[in-house]
Structure 1
């Protein structure tokens, strides 16, 4: 007990649940005039005997896919026969990438056996279909573990091989991400004899992300003490930034505490954090009460 009082250490882990979080809506529209079309295998049998592969990429501004500037890349092998077109989800992919990671979607509109709703007019493939998220478990990818589905529409010049092909793509649907959640511990210290004499206590709050998803836009909104005789000096709010799953970030809040008597002085601070997931969706706050034991002596 004496060791705990002297060090000012106290465990107060109280993670708030991540229940009730909604899927993130996904709505992205992109276009380019720098696509590349190369020849590709057609279907081994049936009417779709000609193949064209469209590849390309384009930049997305902040807000189009999360709050970050991003890149959208396409690799779409069209199987063509007359006006009919097939696009197989096992091969046709769109990648949405930024500094946090990559979300890959598989696009599908029919196959070699049954062409979908895409049509070919001799120059352009146009129409729509469905997409699903391609599973990814890469630890460094903030979009790992995502699932979701939706629809797409596209318009693409697929005239025989060449560069400078124009294409446009619209995606709509929703994505479900593993969510972050918060636990908080604390370390209380005086930081010197002067602070001890003026009863100015520093409390380092260690915010740990105990959820399976990475946390972004993390802020400590408040750490308000309960009870009498304790005054929060701040600073609050404080911007923390990103906390990966399993990682911890620390912020310090100062208090005026205790008056003359330090022995037995303690209080509870209601820490309030706000955060989002990797798509900057599901903005929410979590309140965790943390018990703070004031150190008896000014030594660290």
Structure 2
């Protein structure tokens, strides 16, 4: 009796294991190569002007020829494509020190903000100092050039957090105290942003008994952003099987939009699969850009997909 009972127990255990395998949710994950994080700096080329600047007057430098401050504030709209693909705003806060025929923006006190729905990139501007002015002043207008650096920011909701960079600027402004003052500012340089990174997991399911018998498998791909930077313009371009027995039905491509750092988006792709239990590899291709809509690239991630044995989830 013992000799016949043991094989029966083992056979029942095998059948139970097969059922469990068929019922399990198949998951696989993979990530794009680490090199996706090492993208080139984003170039910045922004020009803005406004005839609605506000200028106030105050005391100037404690010593030297620049005895008056003419403080310009204002903003102007930027069309889509100037600073990312979004409509944006350029704001200026420029405390010009003036005196005689000279002017300066000392000590990085001047601020410029480039803002849109994703966040704000702040720049500190410098041109000369109180003792060595490098800008011109004719009693009405200041003009000249200088350099800028990115002001550090770590706010989680700001897509431009962690940015670094520098460049140059030129500015011309009527600094007569009052409102309705005309100013023009040009910025050029490079900014390095935190970059996104793609990782992909999957869940395979039949979605009904009819799909099981027609061998129409659905695969839900979870596109995760594991990088430190937010991703924009994300699209699943394709998820093509490498096995000739598998036919990708679609739909592809699929637009997923923005995926913040640590976030994810899902896309379901259907396949016609083999009649017997099998596994296959799908080569996922995901396009994405950074917060300046630059560094656009496609990350290729192979993902192993297991075909469930039973029609039930």
Which TM class, normalised by the smaller chain length? over 0.9
1:4 Cα shift? 5.4
Higher helix share: 2
Distance 1:158 1:290 in 2: 61
Distance 2:261 2:305 in 1: 25
**Which of the numbers 53, 58, 61 marks the counterpart of 1:43?**
61
CA contact (8 A) 1:15 1:210 kept: no
Distance 1:243 1:186 in 2: 17
Corresponding position: 1:283 with 2:296: yes
**Greater Cα radius of gyration, structure 1 or 2:** 2
CA deviation profile, 1:136-193 (whole Å, cap 9, x unmatched): 000000000001111100110001x210000000000110001111000000001111
Q: Counterpart in 2 of 1:243?
A: 259
Consecutive aligned runs of 4 or more in structure 1 exceeding 4 Å deviation = 1-5
CA contact (8 A) 1:8 1:294 kept: no
Corresponding position: 1:84 with 2:97: no
TM-score (norm 1): 0.95
1:201-240 mapped onto 2 (5 Å cutoff): 201-240=217-256
1:297 Cα shift? 1.4
TM-score (norm 2): 0.92
Computed over aligned residues only, the root mean square deviation of the Cα atoms, in angstroms, reads: 1.2
1:299 Cα shift? 1.4
**Which of the numbers 92, 103, 114 marks the counterpart of 1:74?**
92
Distance 1:135 1:268 in 2: 43
CA deviation profile, 1:226-279 (whole Å, cap 9, x unmatched): 1121000001111111100010111000000012x2x3x110000001110000
Unpaired stretches in structure 1, ≥5 consecutive residues: none
1:291 Cα shift? 0.2
**Which of the numbers 265, 281, 285 marks the counterpart of 1:268?**
281
Which one is further off, 227-236 or 10-19? 10-19
CA contact (8 A) 2:105 2:128 kept: yes
Corresponding position: 1:252 with 2:268: yes
Q: Counterpart in 2 of 1:148?
A: 165
**Which of the numbers 145, 164, 167 marks the counterpart of 1:128?**
145
Q: Counterpart in 2 of 1:106?
A: 124
How many residues end up aligned between the 2 structures? 295
Q: Counterpart in 1 of 2:42?
A: 24
- Alpha-carbon spacing, 1:267–1:164, altered in 2? closer, same or farther (3 Å): same
CA contact (8 A) 1:25 1:174 kept: yes
Unpaired stretches in structure 2, ≥5 consecutive residues: 1-16
Corresponding position: 1:64 with 2:77: no
CA contact (8 A) 1:5 1:293 kept: no
Distance 1:250 1:89 in 2: 48
Distance 2:219 2:280 in 1: 11
Corresponding position: 1:7 with 2:7: no
